[in-house]
Amino acid sequence: MLEIKGLGARYGEATALDEVSLHVDEGEVVTLVGRNGAGKTTLLRCAMGLRRDMTGRVALAGRDITAAPPHRRARLGLGYVPDDRGIYAGLSVEENLTLPPAAPRSAWPLTRIYEAFPVLAARRRFPGGKLSGGEQQMLALARVLRAGARVLLCDEPTEGLAPVIVQQIGEILRGAKEHGVSVLLVEQNLRFASTVADRHYLLAQGRVVESLDNTEVRRREGELLAYLGL
C-alpha cells in the first residue's frame, strides 16, 4: 500500500536518512522505532511530501507519488498525524474535523466519526485548544480518517498520554486496520507497539538496521528498551 525505496534526506551536511526502504501492506500496522534523532519524523515527513529535497521514491497503492505535493497525497489517501497533532486551537472540534475536504466516498462520514469517537461528539462545539492531549490526539486521528486516509502516518500518538487513553488509541488503530487502513506508526512504547502492530522496523542513524516481528520484540524487550534509552 505504501512503498518507500532508497529514501535519503539531509540537514545541511548531516545525513538524516540514508537509503531507507520499507513497505506497509494493506491493513497492516507497522512501527518505526529508534532512538531520538534516528530519523523517524523526517521519514514520515518525506512520505507525506513535506520535504522537497529528499531522494528516493514513494509509492501509494502502486502509484508513484514522489513528485506529488502534500495536498495531492492527502487526496490520494495518505494521512499525516504530526507529533504536535496540528489542531487549530481557535476552531471547534467539528470545524477541525471538517476543514480538510472529505473524500467523495469517505468510509468515515461525520456520523461514523462521532460513533467511533464519542468524546469528540460530546465536545463538538469545544475549541480545539481546550481539549486534553488525549482528546487532541483522537481529533487528529479522526480528521485524517474522515478525509479518506487509507494509509496513516502517525508520529508518536501515545506520547505523554495516560494508559487508559493509550488503550483507546490502540482500539482506534485496530478498528481502522479492520477496515483495511494501513498505518506507519512512530512508537517508542514497545509494549503498545507489539499489541497494535504486525511488524516493526528499527531505525538507527537514518538507516533501517533491523526488521522485527512481535515475537522478537517481546523476547528482546529489555535489550531494545535499553538500546532506545527508555
Instruction: Quote the distance between the C-alpha of residue 220 and its chain's center.
Output: 24
CB 126 to ligand ATP: min, Å: 29
Q: Three-class SS of residue 6? A: strand
CB 206 to ligand ATP: min, Å: 7
* Amino acid (one-letter) located at 186: V
CB 148 to ligand ATP: min, Å: 26
Cβ-based nearer residue to ligand ATP, 38 or 149: 38
CB 154 to ligand ATP: min, Å: 12
CB 159 to ligand ATP: min, Å: 9
The string of DSSP codes covering 81-140 is E-TTTT--TTSBHHHHHHSSPPPTT-S--HHHHHHH-HHHHHTTTSBGGGS-HHHHHHHH
**Cell representation of residue 109:** 462520514
CB 220 to ligand ATP: min, Å: 20
Find the binder of ligand ATP among 4, 16, 145, 152 (CB under 6 A).
Answer: 16
CB 16 to ligand ATP: min, Å: 4
Cβ-based nearer residue to ligand ATP, 16 or 145: 16
Please, which of residues 22-81 interact with ligand ATP by CB under 6 A? 34, 36-42
CA atoms within 13 A on the CB side of 48: 21
The CA-atom distances, in angstroms, between 210 and each of 37, 69, 90 are 17, 30, 42
Cβ-based nearer residue to ligand ATP, 50 or 110: 50
- Is residue 133 part of the contact set for ligand ATP (CB under 6 A)? no
The CA-atom distances, in angstroms, between 134 and each of 38, 86, 162, 163, 181 are 25, 13, 8, 10, 21
Cβ-based nearer residue to ligand ATP, 36 or 215: 36
Rg over CA atoms, the chain:
17
Cβ-based nearer residue to ligand ATP, 28 or 156: 156
Q: Three-class SS of residue 210? A: strand
Cβ-based nearer residue to ligand ATP, 11 or 88: 11
**Cell representation of residue 60:** 501509494
How many residues bind ligand ATP (CB under 6 A)? The answer is 10
Which stretches of the chain bind ligand ATP, using CB under 6 A? 11, 16, 34, 36-42
